[in-house]
Homo-oligomer: A and B are copies of this chain.
Amino acid sequence: MKIEKVCILGAGTLGSRVALQAALSGYQVTVYDIKQEALDSSLKVMKKILNQLEKFSEIKAEEGIQALSKILFTLDPKVAVEDADLINESVIEEIDIKEKVWKQFGELAPEKTIFTTNTSFLLPSMFADISRRPDKFCAFHFHDVFYSKVVDIMPHPTTDAEIIPILEDFGRALKQVPVLVKKENPGYIFNSMLMAFIGAAGKLLTGEVASIEDIDRSWMVNFHMPMGPFGILDSIGLDTAWHVTHKMPDRASQAFAQLLEKYIKAGKLGEKAGEGFYQYPNPTYREINFLG
Whether a CB of chain B sits under 8 angstroms from the CB of A134 is: no
Does the CB pair A193–B225 fall under 8 Å?
Answer: no
Contacts of A156 in B (CB 8 A): none
In the complex the two chains form, what is the Cα distance from A172 to B291 in whole Å? 10
Binds B, one of A29-37, A44-52, A121-129, A198-206: A198-206
In the complex the two chains form, what is the Cα distance from A208 to B180 in whole Å? 11
Known: A150-B221, A209-B183. A192 touches B204 (CB 8 A): yes
Known: A218-B179, A222-B150, A223-B225. A197 touches B193 (CB 8 A): yes
In the complex the two chains form, what is the Cα distance from A292 to B150 in whole Å? 10
Interface residues in A173-194 by Cβ distance below 8 A to B read 176-183, 185, 188-190, 192-194
Does the CB pair A209–B182 fall under 8 Å?
Answer: yes
Does the CB pair B201–A193 fall under 8 Å?
Answer: yes
- Among B143, B192, B203, B292, the residue within 8 A (CB) of A172 is B292
In the complex the two chains form, what is the Cα distance from A179 to B209 in whole Å? 11
Contacts of A172 in B (CB 8 A): 292
Q: Copies per complex?
A: 2
Contacts of A178 in B (CB 8 A): 292
Does the CB pair B177–A189 fall under 8 Å?
Answer: no
Does the CB pair B218–A150 fall under 8 Å?
Answer: yes
Contacts of A183 in B (CB 8 A): 207-209
Whether a CB of chain B sits under 8 angstroms from the CB of A219 is: yes
Does the CB pair B210–A177 fall under 8 Å?
Answer: no
In the complex the two chains form, what is the Cα distance from A1 to B260 in whole Å? 41
Whether a CB of chain B sits under 8 angstroms from the CB of A211 is: yes
Does the CB pair A143–B181 fall under 8 Å?
Answer: no
Nearest 9 CB-CB pairs, A to B? A196-B200, A197-B197, A179-B214, A189-B218, A150-B221, A190-B218, A193-B200, A148-B222, A193-B197
